[in-house]
């Protein structure tokens, strides 16, 4: 099975591959912990911003943390920041740090206005599903590609963690929250993602059980898996083409040499006469 971004880009797959989308999502927002819910509700009409760089990044330099915290202190929204490092000196009263946050449930909360993300696949799916515009701070691997797709779709603004300033983050948040362009685009993507005949989880369960019922579903196994290593890398095709090119060059070269020798002999005969 392969995971594909339904609302991002179409990709070709082998017939034995089955696409599934947002199968990891909790489709509906559930109740938050009382303390967290009270903090979210205290945001009033300004709403909240959710910030997470994923489980791989639990700490950062004090300088970066202070830059981010000072930008958050300037916005009217409340901020829930997943962060396990030293508390920044510039942390504002509108920001709370958590070692873990129920990300999907927060994104599904009606008061959520923006999501600052590193661009992981699950986070992107959840933001699209709930129609939340993003500020993308990709760090490595597929995150750069994911955020590039979101930026191209008009659902996100991209920043660089190493070079962004307080003003950059503040302006990016202001842009995605106040400019309806981003909200409209991500709502459109959300509508596309929701418009499926069968729920992704149900489809995934069906195909898993299908393979189990048919003992591996060998009839779906493509012949490409039986290729030898040189066939897999198309070395036989490359060798054949090189052989054709070499044959043509050999024939053309010999024809030219034959013609040159013939003309040379003809020239000598004319001189003797």
Using the Cα atoms of residue 67, residue 59, residue 92 and residue 111 in order, give the sign of their dihedral: positive
CATH of the domain at 197: 3.40.50.2000
Q: Domain for residue 84, yes or no? A: yes
Query: Which tens digit of pLDDT belongs to each residue from 235-253?
Result: 999 999 999 999 999 999 9
Q: How far apart are CA 102 and CA 250, in angstroms?
A: 70
Confidence grade of residue 23 (pLDDT, cut at 50, 70, 90): very low
Strand residues in 119-237 grouped as ranges (E): 134-136, 156-158
196 and 236 assigned to the same domain: no
For residue 152, pLDDT beyond 90: yes
Give the up-direction half-sphere exposure of residue 109: CA atoms within 13 A in the CB hemisphere.
29
80 and 12 assigned to the same domain: yes
Whether 173 and 196 have beta carbons less than 8 Å apart is answered as no
252 and 124 assigned to the same domain: no
Q: Domain for residue 65, yes or no? A: yes
Q: Which residue from 84, 62, 58, 69 is spatially nearest to 166, judged by alpha carbons?
A: 69
Residue 251: domain span: 227-272
134 and 246 assigned to the same domain: no
Q: How far apart are CA 125 and CA 6, in angstroms?
A: 10
Q: Domain for residue 211, yes or no? A: no
Confidence grade of residue 16 (pLDDT, cut at 50, 70, 90): low
Work out the average pLDDT over 194-221: 85
Q: Domain for residue 219, yes or no? A: no
Confidence grade of residue 6 (pLDDT, cut at 50, 70, 90): very low
234 and 146 assigned to the same domain: no
pLDDT at 269: 58
Q: Which residue from 126, 133, 135 is spatially nearest to 106, judged by alpha carbons?
A: 126
Place of tokens 């030293």: 86
pLDDT at 267: 62
36 and 134 assigned to the same domain: yes
137 and 24 assigned to the same domain: yes
Q: Domain for residue 221, yes or no? A: no
Two structure tokens written together for 250: 């050999």
Q: Domain for residue 212, yes or no? A: no
Whether 7 and 192 have beta carbons less than 8 Å apart is answered as yes
**What's the total number of domains in the chain?**
2
Query: Which tens digit of pLDDT belongs to each residue from 100-140?
Result: 889 999 999 999 999 999 998 889 999 999 999 999 999 88
């Amino acid at each position: 099975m392969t995971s594909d971004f339904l609302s991002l880009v179409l990709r070709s797959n082998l017939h034995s591959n089955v696409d599934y989308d947002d199968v990891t999502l909790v489709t509906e927002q559930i109740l938050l912990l009382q303390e967290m819910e009270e903090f979210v509700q205290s945001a009033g009409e300004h709403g909240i911003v959710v910030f997470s760089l994923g489980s791989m990044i639990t700490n950062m330099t004090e300088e970066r943390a202070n830059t981010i915290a000072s930008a958050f202190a300037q916005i009217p929204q409340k901020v829930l920041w997943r962060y396990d490092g030293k508390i920044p000196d510039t942390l504002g009263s509108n920001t709370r740090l958590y070692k873990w946050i129920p990300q999907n449930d927060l994104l599904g909360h009606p008061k959520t206005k923006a999501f600052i993300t590193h661009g992981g696949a699950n986070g992107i799916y959840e933001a699209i599903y709930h129609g939340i515009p993003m500020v993308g701070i990709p760090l490595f691997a597929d995150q750069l590609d994911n955020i590039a797709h979101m930026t191209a779709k008009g659902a996100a603004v991209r920043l660089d963690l190493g070079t962004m300033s307080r003003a950059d983050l503040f302006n990016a948040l202001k842009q995605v929250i106040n400019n309806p362009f981003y909200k409209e685009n991500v709502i459109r993507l959300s509508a596309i993602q929701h418009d499926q005949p069968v729920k992704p989880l149900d489809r995934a369960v069906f195909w898993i059980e299908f393979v189990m019922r048919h003992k591996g579903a060998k009839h779906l196994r493509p012949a490409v898996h039986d290729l030898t290593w040189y066939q897999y890398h198309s070395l036989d095709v490359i060798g054949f083409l090189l052989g054709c090119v070499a044959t043509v060059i050999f024939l053309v070269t010999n024809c030219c040499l034959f013609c040159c020798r013939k003309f040379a002999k003809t020239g000598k005969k004319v001189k003797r006469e």
